[in-house]
Structure 1
Amino acid sequence: MDLKPLITLLAIVNPLAIVPFFIHYTQGFTLEQRRHTVWVSSFSCFVVIAISALAGLHILDFFGISLASFQVGGGMLLLISAMNMLNAQPAEAKTNTHELEDGAEKAAMGASIAVVPLTIPLLTGPASMSTVVIYAEKAKTIFQLSALLGYGVVIAAATAICFSLAEPIARVLGKTGINVMTRLMGLILAALSVEVMSDGLVKLFPMLGR
């Protein structure tokens, strides 16, 4: 069984790096509200991964986008995410802080912060979706596709564990520990992004593989 998709997704989603955001957005929540937020955000994370795996290629076909082009674009997104992580920022961090503030305002108006902004875009943004679509194309059998969906369950479980233990994690690791973990995952993601881009470039320009 190929564990590369799981490692890549764990590096991108990296729920440890989102723990401070979870604490921030759930300030003042009751224990029951926090538990509900954990459950919804974890389930939403799996749903995004599952939809990307099952329908992503059909969406590309609908827009007439080749997988090779998508691999190059997705690889670039992964590399940008890796650069964010090497600077100790979440992989799917917004470049504009006002957009995150907009997410908080939506939550105040009744939208669930478990979905926006925790799941989308902080946990599963464009880089995560691109990765799932790329690996879904490589899944040649039902077993391999099922394994990819299973990895989505693992990611959701990791998210639930990190969010459920948010306060202890923040106390034990502290900001420095979380930053170190984020940078380490960013380094791994940078190497994987180069591999994804090179694979797409060879498909677009076969002479590069000679």
Structure 2
Amino acid sequence: MFFKVIALSLLALLPMVNPPTTATLLLGLSKGMSREQIARQVNLTAIYLFVTLCISFFVGSSILELFGISIPGLRLAGGLVIAFIGFRMLFPAPSRPGEGPLNQNIAFVPLTIPSLCGPGTMALVISGAVEISHVPHTISRFPIYAGVVVSFILISLLSWGILKLAGPVCRLLGESGIDAMTRVMGFLLICMGMQFCINGIKEVAQDPVFHGIVATESSALPERARELMGNDIKP
């Protein structure tokens, strides 16, 4: 059971996490950073990814219920964040003379959230936790939870190894190549953000609760019209 859970978790999470996409994003955002700064951001990203996956798995559904946040709302918020970052990369602010290298923290946002652990990954992890909670009590849950945590560790290590390759690629591209990569990735991020928003809107439109409210309001209109017409009719 332990190894089966690890294999299934890796197969489900790898396409969602997609570390190569985040590596290209790191290429665009690491312009002006030194090797030490890039290495620090990569190390922090791996740690943040593991912590975020664990939080989403163990208390993610409780946090969403506590604040009344739905998965479509999570997708819309993530899409807006990605689109905002994309605009900043596509149309960067002009650098001032004598301005030093960048010293910003990009490990948590946007590398970990929403790139590596976006709304889709969170929804997958939270739904998996809900499914495990419905496992019969006759089956031991310790190997299941242990397998999930180990898969989170492996995903974080794999992402760390792929992001480490971004440094040599930066030196290979040079300053002009990184600037071009930044603008291309900015445009792609805007497209990704808009797609996240579209998916969130589609989920809201397909929600049975939403359809129930619309149906109730539409069915109440004829009754309200008949009441108004009945009031106007004199005996």
Q: Tell me the TM-score normalised to structure 1 length.
A: 0.59
Shift in Å, 1:135: 2.6
Structure 2 letter corresponding to 1:22 = S
Structure 1 letter corresponding to 2:184 = V
Q: 2 CA distance for matches of 1:178 and 1:89?
A: 6
Query: Is the CA contact 2:31–2:178 (under 8 Å) kept in the aligned structure 1?
Result: no
Partner of residue 45, structure 1: 45
Partner of residue 138, structure 1: 127
Shift in Å, 1:137: 0.9
Q: 1 CA distance for matches of 2:30 and 2:66?
A: 38
Shift in Å, 1:122: 4.4
Q: 1 CA distance for matches of 2:163 and 2:198?
A: 26
Relative to structure 1, is the Cα distance of residues 137 and 188 closer, same or farther in structure 2, using a 3 angstrom cutoff? same
Query: Is the CA contact 1:86–1:182 (under 8 Å) kept in the aligned structure 2?
Result: yes
Deviations 1:79-132 (A, max 9, x none): 213423653628xx9xxx9xxx9xx6xxxxxxxx5xx51313342346765534
- Give the aligned CA root-mean-square deviation in angstroms: 4.1
Partner of residue 178, structure 1: 182
Structure 1 letter corresponding to 2:126 = E
Structure 2 unpaired stretches of 5+: 1-10, 133-143, 216-235
Shift in Å, 1:65: 3.3
Relative to structure 1, is the Cα distance of residues 4 and 191 closer, same or farther in structure 2, using a 3 angstrom cutoff? farther
Partner of residue 80, structure 2: 80
Q: 2 CA distance for matches of 1:182 and 1:125?
A: 16
Structure 2 letter corresponding to 1:89 = M
Relative to structure 1, is the Cα distance of residues 204 and 43 closer, same or farther in structure 2, using a 3 angstrom cutoff? farther
Determine which of 102, 107, 114 is the counterpart of 1:119: 107
Shift in Å, 1:204: 7.5
Q: Counterpart of 2:71 in 1: which secondary structure? A: helix
Structure 1 unpaired stretches of 5+: 27-33, 105-112
Determine which of 21, 27, 34 is the counterpart of 1:19: 27
Structure 1 letter corresponding to 2:33 = Y
Partner of residue 199, structure 2: 195
Shift in Å, 1:10: 5.6
Q: Tell me the TM-score normalised to structure 2 length.
A: 0.54
Query: Is the CA contact 1:136–1:148 (under 8 Å) kept in the aligned structure 2?
Result: no
Q: 1 CA distance for matches of 2:41 and 2:105?
A: 10
Alignment coverage as a number of residue pairs:
177
Q: Counterpart of 2:32 in 1: which secondary structure? A: helix
